[in-house]
Amino acid sequence: MKDKHIRQVVIVGGGTAGWMTAAALAALLPGLYSYRLIESDAISTIGVGEATIPSIRNFNLHLGIDENDFLRATQGTFKLGIEFVNWGKLGHNYIHGFGSVGRDQPTANFFHYWLKMQQMGHATSLEPYAINTVAARLGKFSRGRPDLPNSPLADMSYAFHFDAGLYARYLRSYSEARGVRRTEGRIVGTALRASDGFIEAVVMENGERIAGDFFIDCSGMAGLLIEQALHTGYEDWSHWLPCDRAIAVPCESHGPMPALTRATAHAAGWQWRIPLQHRTGNGHVFSSRFMQAGAAEEILMANLDGKPLAAPRLLTFTTGKRRKFWNRNCVAIGLAGGFMEPLESTSIHLVKTALMRLISFFPDRAFEQADIDTFNRLCDKEYEQIRDFLICHYKVSGRDDSDFWRYVRDMAVPETLQRKLDLFASRGRIVRENEELFPEDSWLQVMHGQGMRPRSYNPVVDQRAPEDIADFLNSTAAVIRKCVDAMPGHEAFIAAHCRAGVKQAA
Ligand code: FAD
């Protein structure tokens, strides 16, 4: 049989997406294929992807990356969730913690028991029932304790904050050690095969032609191959997610280092605060339809915890995604594929899932269209589900103090989201559909945190007497509090396990 295997894979771009791609392919598909990554020192990476969600731990696991080693190399910290300040209304805040809220029962989710008691006037806050939230509020952190299978500590759900530039450097060493060949230089052209428009080669500024069978476009928002060469098209979602600019600036750290990303809502967007070991990352994401860049920069600079460490940098984006992530012999991963604002830190996760999906649909030179279509359909669905979750943050906010907040309150939302909102508004039910990324408790914390209150609860909880439910709630909160009290502080945990520049004994 004629050998149809891909031989040369060319990865274009050396940002987070490019080096994650190189690392994953070199580690998980070694031997058969050769990998070449092209990046230009003259074209900077976006460099602000600093907060993640728990799935990154799976990525590390697949690649055999030691968590402490990776955190030391990237000045990383732990993340238990996101604190949303001024989102539901001014002066109000809540935490979307990873992990669960309470203990679900075989008949109904924990929330319904809480809701019944709340409607009877006996329960005020959901926070004491979520271990990540309680720990984050108290500045504590612990990894999971599988040796305590019946404890809320058994499976702590957490992610990381890290310096994106250091992360790319870390993955570069990892990839080069596994045979990935790096080429520095600017790509100035692309050669397409006349018969079918497949990419044959990229052309470098120095005239070199780098040929390949399969191209992974990680060139960032420019979409050098997927858009500039293949004209794939882009679906613009900015009518639902109107933020289209960000101003980023690092500053000195000040005060205790929380195991939390903070997202503070402003008049036409929101500001992130990401604690790292050596500094704090900040940025103001805003809508240029509702605020000028100068005003956005002023707000950002007035709301830093410490002295700025660099000049603020303006970034421009359009929320949305490519019409096809995979077109002919080119797959777009990272910003080349699409971008949604970093409100729930989903971009690096999307790089990871695209890579795992690509590996399971890895082609040969026949490039079967059924594989390509399925890959695209699955990516589309994943993007749309995350999009709905992000829109939800804006749509259900109780704020109406600026044109921006009034616009997002009044806008029509995708039908898929409207169905979720209607379902929750009636009886507090949430359904996680088709391997959706965010679980029920994520939706719950956000909808509840923004101020949505269902009209009623699942009637089956009436089977239990209110005193019995009160005991159940109290004991759940007490166990969580006891576990958290026994945890070390976040900074102490880092000092003991993964302080940057300190090599700990194994
Ligand atoms: P880039 O970082 O832009 O890299 C592009 C690469 O392509 C570079 O190496 C460049 O040299 C190369 N290149 C481009 N053109 C050429 C050429 N002609 N020749 C040769 N090389 C070329 N994600 C998260 O998960 N969490 C976050 O907290 C988060 N925050 C963000 C905040 C903002 C404001 C933005 C805009 C994004 C954020 N992201 C976040 C997204 C995250 O930054 C990106 O998903 C991630 O960095 C991947 O970027 P990339 O590698 O696709 O592109």
- Give the residue extent of every domain in the chain: 8-50+163-236+319-367, 245-316
Nearest to 326 by CA among 196, 478, 214: 214
Residue 503 is predicted with a pLDDT of: 65
The Å distance, Cα 15 to ligand 1 centre, comes to 5
Residue of the CA atom closest to atom 53 of ligand 1: 220
Residue of the CA atom closest to atom 29 of ligand 1: 49
Residues with CB under 6 A from ligand 1: 13-18, 38-40, 43, 45-46, 48-52, 164, 186-187, 218-220, 222, 224, 246, 248, 283, 315, 317, 334-336, 342, 345, 347-348
Q: What is the DSSP letter of 361?
A: T
Distances (CA, A) of 86 to 96, 199, 261, 407, 485: 14, 48, 14, 17, 28
Q: Let me know: does 402 contact 291? Beta carbons within 8 Å.
A: no
Residue 62 is predicted with a pLDDT of: 97
| Torsion sign across C-alpha atoms 486, 448, 287, 342 | positive
Residue 506 is predicted with a pLDDT of: 44
Burial of 213 from C-beta contacts in 10 A (0-12 / 13-18 / 19+): buried
Burial of 305 from C-beta contacts in 10 A (0-12 / 13-18 / 19+): middle
8-50+163-236+319-367: CATH architecture: 3-Layer(bba) Sandwich (3.50)
Structure tokens at 289: 């339809």
| Torsion sign across C-alpha atoms 13, 16, 18, 19 | positive
Residue 1 is predicted with a pLDDT of: 55
The Å distance, Cα 165 to ligand 1 centre, comes to 10
The Å distance, Cα 19 to ligand 1 centre, comes to 11
- Which residues of the chain fall short of a pLDDT of 50? 505-506
Candidate from 45, 288, 390 with most ligand 1 atoms within 8 A of CB, to mutate: 45
Q: Is 79 a catalytic residue?
A: yes
Phi, psi of 79 (to 5 degrees): -135, 120
**Which atom of ligand 1 lies closest to the CA of 336?**
52
Residue 435 is predicted with a pLDDT of: 86
